Chains A and B, each alone.
Chain A
Amino acid sequence: MNVRIGYLYRDLMNIYGDDGNVLALIQRCRWRGIAVEVQDLALGEPIVPGRHDIFFMGGGQDREQVLVCKDLADVKGEAIKREIEDGAAALVICGGYQLFGKFYRPFDSDELPGIGVFDAYTVAGDTRFIGNVVAKSALGGKSGVIVGFENHSGKTHLGERCNPLGMVTVGHGNNGEDRTEGAVHMGAVGTYLHGSLLPKNPGVADFLIERALARRGHVPLRPLDDTIELTAQEVAIARARKTH
């Protein structure tokens, strides 16, 4: 049994400690006796169908996002979308999340097309949403809640065919208006939450791993001792409420 992670644009889209998500996936597999392989998917690298079980993409600066957008349009985008429809999992954060929607419209430059995995679009806003976030989420495991830190000026709006990752009780979420945070479509999870997201939200990590394995017909995961994870989550939630 093994899990193969496709790490999209590691050198370009990795400014925010989001690497911790890949580490969390790797360890949570290994601690269950599941072997893990990580392959870097850089600019120009094509996607081989069925070759990856979980795709990951972090956030980046504007300049990097433009380069990535082009590569997704020219090289990888369609293939990734087919993989997700075929049952592959994905976790995409911030800038990566925006590019998995239909488009990103900045203030005063050309619209960046996304790959349309999520029925969602993003528009540049005039305020930055920065701060701790707590959201009720079906992927929140025992606590039913996820916690993280947002820092974005893009406002993402979800269409009818797209469910949010959660509903915020602290923080702004996707657009500061409808209390949604993130997006989920089949095995793909998009979010604005840094933290990193997965270490403190093991429910989301295990959802991704389960999806990855389910595609090849494997059994459900055995639980891990998440005492530290859940305590860290509790502390972060209390901190979010206090510093809100």
Chain B
Amino acid sequence: MRFRTRLALAIGKIIGASSRLLNIGGGSTLPGRVARRMYPGFVPSMVSGLPLGCALVTGTNGKTTTATLLASILDRAGLTPVHNRTGANLMAGIASALIRESNLSGRLAARIGLFEVDEAALPAAVVDASPRLVLVNNLFRDQLDRYGELDTLAKKMKTAINGMDPAATVALNADDPLVASIGYGLEQKVVYYGIEAAGRYASATMQHAADSKHCAECGAPLEYEYYLFGHMGRYRCTSCGRERPRPDVFATDLEMAGMNGTRCNVHYPGGSTAVSIPLPGLYNVYNILGAMAAGLALEVDPDIITGAVEEFTAAFGRVERVETGDRKILMILAKNPAGFNEVIRTLMTEPGRKDVLLALNDNIADGRDVSWIWDVDFEMFRGRLLNVVCSGIRGWDMALRVKYSELQQQSLTIETDLEKALDFALDKVVPGGTLYMVPTYTAMLDLRRIMVKRGLVTPYWEG
């Protein structure tokens, strides 16, 4: 291994160990950032030591859940993945994962790399990691202030993917028109996945938080036979005839059971299997389908894949169930309108009125612009809420959203301090009841930190 790589690796390891010792965070991005600054070729050099290459997972919603499930699949298959587990999904996070998993001479115990990658970082990641597989799950408007327009983002991703080794594979969500369009005309092998025969889950009307309403090829409006979630569904261009590709891996016979998950049949070339998905909502059906499609493309046995799915507990922070005394907490992350709508929709499939804590931050990782909350259909909560607590740095903005939606809640309290808000909200929950917390990303980290302090969950860098 090159000297420069070894040196960058050594420095990275020291930084990682120090941050853990000093308890200033799990070292999930700083070591990598420094190593890459010291040696820009750090990541390519490190991944060249992986006998089975790399797989990249990207998309707006569900990256961490999909990547974590895929990691579990690969692990069970004996492929020993190195994975940027904590959702640090920019290049520094990938580099940090490689630093953590290798010994000082640069030997990785892993055989395959599995990295969750932020959409904007995908082009750089493709160049550095030369992946054998890229999975694109969906493209929604997210963090309006970080990205320009979705079309531009998709073009950049397509260009990067086009430049991959021709023997590589791309797994794409057929039900998302912009994502599916990435597959048109690619030299690489394309595996499409999606939902077929959606039955009662198919809707004739598009939800509010939908993007991608026009054909990526010719710009004409798309016409939908049905919608499933946001702009996902079965679509056709009204002008050039392009339509939703037939998926190679698809789910049928869906039976959704609210917060308890979904049962369905998953079909793939050569067979099919009944699957019990332990995570709620249609959005998680896509996450699981994506991970399964990727696992199959990496030649993992279908039985191993199904086993991994059924035993999967969601990645930290995405869906967390906690018991505290005689009450329960269910925390579900929401980062953008499409994701938040799915959370609300799924919560509302459970009967009864709910106590909720809505936590809105506007740190860089959450997105500085909070305008997006006005695109969330909070009106779905109307008449179904007991006590509402709005918290986080921009808790007052969230309270405004609640006020203008006229949700007819029993009480509305605003407390920007998350710890005070958590205690206040829990206090209002009847014994045996559940507090539903829906935070944005950094508010989730803070709430998690509070719950760790109280011994309710394990610290994330141990998880």
Task: Identify the A interface with B (CB < 8 A).
Answer: 11, 15-20, 23-24, 27, 61-63, 128, 130-132, 149, 151, 194-196, 199-200, 228-229, 231-232, 235-236, 239, 243
Contacts and interface: CB of A to CB of B under 8 A. Distances in A.
B374 interface: yes
A232 B144 contact: no
B368 A23 contact: no
B151 A194 contact: no
Nearest to B399: A228
Given A200-B397, A228-B396, A232-B397, A15 B374 contact: no
Contact of B404 (A11, A20, A149, A194): A20
Nearest to B364: A243
A63 B403 contact: no
Given A23-B404, A62-B149, A195 B399 contact: no
Given A149-B369, A228-B414, A232-B397, A17 B149 contact: no
B144 A229 contact: no
Given A62-B149, A200-B400, A232-B397, A149 B406 contact: no
Contact of B374 (A20, A62, A235): A20
Contacts of A15: 141, 144, 211
B144 A16 contact: yes
Contacts of B400: 199-200, 228-229, 232
Contacts of A18: 371, 374
A34 to B, nearest CB: 16
Among A61, A128, A200, the most chain B Cβ lie within 10 Å of the Cβ of A61
A128 to B, nearest CB: 8
Contacts of A151: 144-145, 369
7 contacts: A15-B141, A15-B144, A61-B150, A62-B149, A231-B396, A232-B396, A239-B394
A149 B145 contact: yes
A18 B401 CA distance: 13
Given A132-B368, A232-B400, A236-B394, 8 more contacts: A15-B144, A16-B144, A131-B145, A195-B370, A199-B401, A199-B404, A200-B400, A232-B397
B396 A239 contact: no
Contacts of A130: 145, 368
The 10 A-B pairs of least Cβ separation, nearest first, read: A20-B374, A17-B371, A17-B374, A232-B396, A194-B371, A149-B369, A199-B400, A196-B374, A17-B375, A235-B396
Nearest to A235: B396
A17 B404 contact: no
B368 A194 contact: no
A216 to B, nearest CB: 25
Among B208, B214, B397, the most chain A Cβ lie within 10 Å of the Cβ of B397
B437 to A, nearest CB: 21
A149 B372 CA distance: 11
A86 B149 CA distance: 37
A151 B371 CA distance: 11
Interface string B147-158: 011110000000
A114 B144 CA distance: 25
B362 interface: yes
Nearest to B214: A63
A23 B405 CA distance: 8
B42 to A, nearest CB: 30
A239 B373 contact: no
Given A149-B368, A199-B400, A63 B374 contact: no
A15 B362 CA distance: 19
Contact of A194 (B141, B369, B397): B369
B166 interface: no
A63 B214 CA distance: 10
B375 A19 contact: yes
B151 A17 contact: no
Contacts of B328: none
A231 B141 CA distance: 28
Contacts of A232: 394, 396-397, 399-400
Interface string B323-366: 00000000000000000000000000000000000000010000
Nearest to A63: B219
B160 interface: no
Contact of A27 (B145, B368, B404): B404
A43 to B, nearest CB: 10
B213 interface: yes
A19 B208 CA distance: 10
Interface string B118-159: 000000000000000000000001001100111100000000
A16 B396 contact: no
Contacts of B416: 235
B34 interface: no
B372 A17 contact: yes
B249 to A, nearest CB: 31
B414 A149 contact: no
Contacts of A195: 370-371
A18 B372 CA distance: 9
A151 B144 CA distance: 8
B52 interface: no
A181 to B, nearest CB: 16
A61 B399 contact: no
Given A63-B151, A132-B368, A228 B374 contact: no
Contacts of A194: 144, 369, 371
A236 to B, nearest CB: 7
Given A20-B404, A199-B404, A228-B403, A235 B371 contact: no
A178 B418 CA distance: 40
Nearest to B150: A61
Contact of A239 (B148, B211, B362, B414): B362
A128 B369 CA distance: 15
Interface in B386-402: 393-394, 396-397, 399-401
